[in-house]
Amino acid sequence: MSLVELIAQAGERGLAASGLACLDRCVPLLGGDDLVLRPLWASLADGSDWSEGLEKARGSLAGGPGTGAGGDEAEALARRMLDAAPASQEADGIRLWADGCSVASLQIHRLLDPAADPAPSVDARREGGTEGMSPLVAAELRRQVTVLELLAAHGGAGLRRALDVSTEGRRVLRAVVSRRARGLG
C-alpha cells in the first residue's frame, strides 16, 4: 500500500503519530534536543490533550537557532511543520497536518541527501514510485510507512515502536546535518 493510501486510511491516533514522527525526525534542523517532543508522544499514549506540550515545544524551539547546516529551505520546512501542528488531534486538522508533514519531511530529506533523486517531486514517492530513489529519501519513506503500519496493526501499543523508528531517523538526520555543517556532505 502506498504512503498516500496509508494516510487516507489512518485514524486520528495514527495520523497524529505520523505527523509527530515526521516532525520529531526533523528536530535537529531546529536546534532541539532529543526530548523536546516527548510530552507530545506521552499525550498520544495516554490519550490526553497535547496542546500544552505543543506550546512548550514551540517555546523551546522558537527563535532558537537551527544548525544552519541543513539549508534555509530545509529548516523552514521543519519550522512550518511545528507551527502548523493543530492544538487538537481531531480528524480534519490532524489529517491535513499529517499529510503536510509527510510531504515536508520527504522534501527535507531530499534536500539534504547528497545523492540526486530523479523524481520530479516527492509526490511520486508517496504514491509508490520508488525507482531510482535516493537513499536518504528511501529511508524516510520506509519510516513513514512503518509508523502508519505499526499504528494500524497495534493501535496505541504500536506507539513505543513508532517512537523508536522516529528516534532512529532523528539520529540519521542529525548525522547528515552534522556532516553538512563540517562541509563533508
Tens of pLDDT, residues 150-176: 999 999 999 999 999 999 999 999 999
Q: Given a cut of 50, is residue 122 above it in pLDDT?
A: yes
State percent of the chain over pLDDT 90: 70
| Cell reading at 142 | 520506509
Contact yes or no for 117/133 (Cβ under 8 A):
yes
Q: Given a cut of 50, is residue 69 above it in pLDDT?
A: no
User: Per-residue confidence at 81, pLDDT binned at 50, 70, 90?
Assistant: very high
Over range 64-71, report the average pLDDT.
49
Please, which contacts does 56-60 make with residues 24 or more away whose CB atoms are closer than 8 Å?
57/32, 57/82, 58/82, 58/83, 60/32, 60/36
pLDDT of residue 132: 78
| Cell reading at 139 | 529511508
Tens of pLDDT, residues 6-31: 999 999 999 999 999 999 999 999 99
User: Per-residue confidence at 99, pLDDT binned at 50, 70, 90?
Assistant: very high
The overall longest dimension of the chain from CA atoms, in Å, is 43
